[in-house]
Amino acid sequence: MVGYAHAIVNAQYVSAADLVGCRYRQVQRFVHPEVPRTRAARMRLERVAAARDAVHALLPARPARGDRQRFVRVDVPPVPHDTDPFPAEMATLEALASEANLITGAVFTGRSVGVDWRVDVDLLVRRPDGTYLPVIISNHRVARADDRVTTPVIATARLGLGGPVPGPFRLRHHVADGYRLALAARALADIGVDSGVGGAVGQDRSRAFLAPTGPLQPALQAALEQELPTFPRRVKECASCRFWPLCEKELVDADDISLYLAGDRARKWREEGITTVSALIEADLGEPSRLAAAWRDGVVLLRKVDEVSAPRADVEIDVDMEAYLDQGAYLWGAFDGESYHSFATWLPLGGEAEATNFARFWRWLMGRRAAAHAAGQSFAAYCWSNHGENHWLTMSARRFAGVEGVPTEEEVREFISSPEWIDVFRLVRAQLVGPGGLGLKVVAPEAGYTWEDGDFDGEESVNARRISRGSDAAAREARRRLLRYNEDDCRATAAVRAWLRAGVPGVEKL
C-alpha cells in the first residue's frame, strides 16, 4: 500500500542509505530538507570523499605499456547528493553511449514500486561484451583474506583495462553497499547494459572484489516495498541524528515508550498494548515498572544487591585500547593509580609500527605483573567491557607472531582468562541496574568522574585517528585528544572500581 508518507517521499529521490536503519529519517528528510547535517555526518562524508580520492589516484588514466586495447576514461563532474541529478545522469548516459571503458562519478535515477530512487555509482567498468560492471567505493572492509575460498578480483589500477582473476578472499556483506550495487544493476538493466556482476573497493583501496548482483535484488525489493512509518520511534541512531529535536518533541508529546526503552527493547510491552512510559509504570509489573518510574524521575542507577563490592589487588592497572575500524590497535593506555602510560603508533596499521607498539605495551604490562609477583604482591589489570581489548590482544599476537616481544596467542589467552584480568563492566552489570543503560559514560559520572573532553565519542575518535596521521597542527591536536580520551577512560574505570568498593554511596536498592 502506498501511504501518505510514500507520497511525500516520491517528491524526491530515495538513496540506498535511506533504506538502511531508521526509515522515519527518510520521512523527516523530505518534510524538513532545511535541517542541516550534523558534524559527525559531515565528517563521514569527508571520509567517503577521502576514500574516493585515494581510489581515483590508483585508477588508470591511459593504457599501460603493453596494453593494445582502446581505453577511454570519462570523469563525470561530481554533484552533491541533494542537488538535481539530471546533468550528471545525462553525462553518464553520454559516457555509456561513447562506450567508455571506465566512467567515474556515474549517477542514475529510476523508479521501482512507486519509489523514485537515485544511485551514485563511483565507477562503471566496460566489459568485453559491452555490458558494464558497477563498482562502489566503500569505507567498509568488503573482503577478508581466506585461503579456503576464491573471489574474482581486479586490481584498481587495471579497472577498464584488465579482467578479473581469482583471489583468496571471502566477501563480507554490508547492507547499504548491497543496496547501492543492486540499484546500480537495475539502472544498467533498464538501458540493456547490465553485466549481472558488481564490485566494491573497500578499505583495501588496491582491489575491487566482484560478486553477482542478482542475489542482492530481493532484499532491495523488500526495502523499497516497506511501508514507511508515520511516527518516530527512538533507536540507537537517534543519538547522532539531525532530526532528533523534531522527533524528540513528537515522542515526548506522546509519552512514547521508546523514550525509555529504545529500539526493540519495548517490543514485548507494545505487543501487550503498553505503548507509553506512564502505562508501563501504571501496569505495576514489578521491576520493569519500577525501573520505568526511576527513569522518569531521573534516577540513573539502582542497586540489585544489598552490598556492592569489587575485587582488590596490591598492584592495580586500568587498561583501555583504541582501534581504527578493523585495521588494528593504535593505542594501548594504562593508568597505574598514579600515572597514565600510553603506547601509541601514528603510522599505518598492520605493519611493523603496530607490532612494535603492541610488544612495548605487553612487555610493560607483564613487567609490572612480574615485579608485583616478585615482591610477593597480588596483581590485577582492569578494563571496561573487555571484548575489544581481548580481540586485539589475541589478534595482535596472531598477526605479529614472531616479532620480538610479541607474546604467543597462548600467552595472551592464558592472561585474559586469568583472575588477574577483570572486566569492570561485568562487575557493574552484576550488581547495578540503570534505566538508561550501564555505559561507562553513564556510570562513571555517578562515581564522580567527569571527562575533560565530553563531546569526544567513538565516531569523533575515528575521525581524530584519520587526522592524527599527518604532521601538521591538526594532527598534533588530534593525537592529544586521542590520548586524553584514552586516559580519561582508564581513569574513569579506576574511579568506578573505587566507588564500587565504597559500596556505591547514595545509590538506592531497586
Residue 126 contacts residue 69 (beta carbons within 8 Å): no
Among 201, 224, 241, 321, binds ligand SF4 (CB under 6 A): 241
Q: How far is the CB of 19 from ligand SF4 (least distance, A)?
A: 13
Stretch binding ligand SF4 (CB under 6 A), from 146-154, 228-236, 467-475, 488-496: 228-236
Cell numbers that stand for 79 in this block: 554533484
Tell me the C-alpha distance between 164 and 212, whole Å. Answer: 13
Stretch binding ligand SF4 (CB under 6 A), from 59-67, 82-90, 243-251, 481-489: 243-251
Q: How far is the CB of 199 from ligand SF4 (least distance, A)?
A: 30
Q: What DSSP assignment string belongs to 314-363?
A: SEEEEEEEEEETTTEEEEEEEE-SS-EEEEE--SPTTSHHHHHHHHHHHH
243 near ligand SF4 (CB under 6 A): yes
x-marked contacts with ligand SF4 along 26-65 as a string, rule CB under 6 A: --x-------------------------------------
Selection from 168, 101, 172 nearest residue 130 by Cα: 101
Q: Which CB, 243 or 358, lies closer to ligand SF4? A: 243
Window 142-181: residues binding ligand SF4 (CB under 6 A): none
Q: Hey, which residues does 320 pair with through a beta bridge?
A: 333
Q: How many residues bind ligand SF4 (CB under 6 A)?
A: 13
Lateral strand order in the sheet of 132-137: 73-75, 102-112, 115-126, 132-137, 197-201, 207-212, 151-155, 165-167
Q: Which CB, 158 or 233, lies closer to ligand SF4? A: 233
228 near ligand SF4 (CB under 6 A): no
Cell numbers that stand for 9 in this block: 517521499
Give the DSSP H or E segment for 313. Answer: none
Among 9, 235, 259, 308, binds ligand SF4 (CB under 6 A): 235
Among 187, 247, 443, 504, binds ligand SF4 (CB under 6 A): 247
Question: With DSSP H G I counted as helix, E B as strand and the rest as coil, what are the percentages for the chain, rounded to 5?
Answer: 45, 20, 35
Q: Which CB, 41 or 48, lies closer to ligand SF4? A: 41
Residue 242 contacts residue 35 (beta carbons within 8 Å): yes
Tell me the C-alpha distance between 350 and 330, whole Å. Answer: 10
260 near ligand SF4 (CB under 6 A): no
Residue 153 contacts residue 166 (beta carbons within 8 Å): yes
Residue 406 contacts residue 412 (beta carbons within 8 Å): no
Stretch binding ligand SF4 (CB under 6 A), from 23-31, 86-94, 423-431, 463-471: 23-31
The crossing angle, in degrees rounded to 10, of helices 175-190 and 217-225 is 90
Among 13, 24, 451, 499, binds ligand SF4 (CB under 6 A): 24
Q: Which CB, 246 or 475, lies closer to ligand SF4? A: 246
22 near ligand SF4 (CB under 6 A): yes
Tell me the C-alpha distance between 388 and 460, whole Å. Answer: 18
Among 178, 202, 232, 328, binds ligand SF4 (CB under 6 A): 232
| Residue pointed to by grid coordinates 517521499 | 9
Stretch binding ligand SF4 (CB under 6 A), from 24-32, 117-125, 177-185, 413-421: 24-32
Q: Which CB, 243 or 384, lies closer to ligand SF4? A: 243
In degrees, rounded to 5, the angle at the alpha carbon of residue 120 between the alpha carbons of residues 118 and 122 is 165
Among 43, 197, 201, 238, binds ligand SF4 (CB under 6 A): 238
Stretch binding ligand SF4 (CB under 6 A), from 22-30, 116-124, 322-330, 475-483: 22-30
Among 5, 6, 19, 25, binds ligand SF4 (CB under 6 A): 25
Q: Which CB, 108 or 243, lies closer to ligand SF4? A: 243
- Interface with ligand SF4 by CB under 6 A: which residues? 22, 24-25, 28, 232-233, 235, 237-238, 241, 243-244, 247
